[in-house]
Structure 1
């Protein structure tokens, strides 16, 4: 696979140690351990975290995170418990994001990420799985749907970054650029409050909020991010035939839900259902009812297959 961009930490040894310590803090807060499952792919090392992976009677769920996040965000305040005990969960640290995976990335507009995601499932010995992606991760899901639809039971897109371009509204640009131009705990907190969460409906505990501020400040100041950003996949989506469920927050400023819903209904032939959550912003993967919705839909699909 052709490598288009290479991102990296400024001091890999020191920065990766910081990240590993951050994971230990999350494990301590949640009173559980994430199983490290590193694999080799065309993009180099790809790190995956596993939960309940030893029980092969459970349905496999593969999760891809948003940009400048880790899939462990999905488990702030033990949020993954909202999926019940129905899944073997595989949390993929996408290459090119600030995590333990190598920083190599393909051209975002190629199908390279789809081939990479297929490699990840193959390395995990998953012939077919449910997949879910938030923001950037939604684009990864659709790339996999283009290259290897046979590997997907159904795809869940959470405020995906592939149904429209990033909003250029002054308000959205202000809050997103603020922590990048002036990194500080105050500015990261303001970005999270105004763009990622929607208090009091959509929020985190104080302990989890500290962890996300720590991570965001770390990612902004320590990671040399050259990874291309998601884009509107437009007519590429017409080739996606797998079942797709779209989960949207009505307060998402980054990718306003009305346009995402309209584009999905027009261009995704496999679209099965749209669920819009009120007073939920861009960080929908941290919102319990969204994961409960995934649990409900997968339970229904599995019952139909029996």
Structure 2
């Protein structure tokens, strides 16, 4: 696999220790310990967190996170409890994002991220799984479904970054660029309030929001992010027969929902359902009804 770029922590030892401390704080608050898998992949070391991983007879869900996030965000406020107790869950830390996986990445427009994702499933002993991805993670799901469709039962895309280009709207650009230019807690909180959540209908607990602010300030200031951003896959989306579900928030500034609907209908061959949630913004993976919808898909799409 050809490496396109490498991202990295500015102080590898110190910054990784800080991330480990952040994970331990989340585990203590959630009252559970995440199983940890360290895989040797074509992109280097890949870390995967597991819940109920030993329950081999249960449905298996593999989750890929959005850009500049960790997959553990999906379990803020024990959000993954919404899936019920009988689901094997694997939270993949995508290489090239601010997490404990190594920072090598392939060309985003190749299928190599899909081949890497298939390699992750193989190393975890997963023959076939439901896959879900938020934003950047939605693109990874589609790359996997194209590269190795035999591994995908269904792909569930949450406000995905592959159905349209990143919005160049003034408000979206302002709130996204502000914390990058000056990664203060105030600016990160403003970005979260205006682009990620839609309070009061879509918000987290004060603890979870504080953890997310901590993470974003850390990720922006301590991680040199050279990873390419997601792109509109266009006709490439039609290269898989895998069933696809699309979950959208109607207040998503980054990828406005109507354009995602139109392009999903245009290109995805086996589009099973589009679900739009009112007053939900980009961070839909933290919205309980969306996770409950994933549970419904797992229960009814065998």
1:167-201, CA deviations, whole angstroms, 9 ceiling, x for partnerless residues?
A: 00000000000000111000000000000000000
- Partner of residue 257, structure 2: 257
Partner of 2:111: 111
Q: What is the alpha-carbon distance in structure 2 between the residues aligned to residue 183 and residue 154 of structure 1?
A: 37
Partner of 2:167: 167
Identify the residue that residue 176 of structure 1 maps to in structure 2. Answer: 176
Distance 2:84 2:270 in 1: 26
TM-score for the superposition, normalised by structure 1: 0.98
Q: Deviation of residue 218 (structure 1)?
A: 0.1
Aligned residue number for residue 191 of structure 1? 191
- Please give the residue correspondences for 1:120-159 in structure 2 after superposition, counting only pairs within 5 Å: 120-159=120-159
Give, in whole Å, the separation in 1 of the partners of 2:301 and 2:260.
Answer: 24
Number of residue equivalences: 302
Unaligned regions of 5+ residues in structure 2, if any?
Answer: none
Aligned counterparts of 2:292 and 2:210: Cα–Cα separation in 1 = 25
Q: How far has the Cα of 1:65 moved from its partner?
A: 0.1
The DSSP-based 3-state class of the residue aligned with 1:38 is strand
In the TM superposition, residue 231 of structure 1 has moved relative to its aligned partner by 0.2
Please give the secondary structure, in 1, of the residue aligned with 2:49: strand
Task: Give, in angstroms, the shift of residue 86 of structure 1.
Answer: 2.5
| SS of residue matched to 2:296 | helix
**C-alpha RMSD of matched pairs (Å):** 0.5
Matched with 2:56 is 56
Q: Which structure 2 residues correspond to residues 47-86 of structure 1 after superposition, within 5 A?
A: 47-86=47-86
User: Could you state the TM-score of these two structures normalised by the residue count of structure 2?
Assistant: 0.99
CA drift of 1:301 comes to 1.6
Tell me the SS of whatever aligns to 2:157: strand
Alignment-derived partner of residue 19 in structure 1: 19
1:225: how far off? 0.3
SS at the partner of 1:154? strand
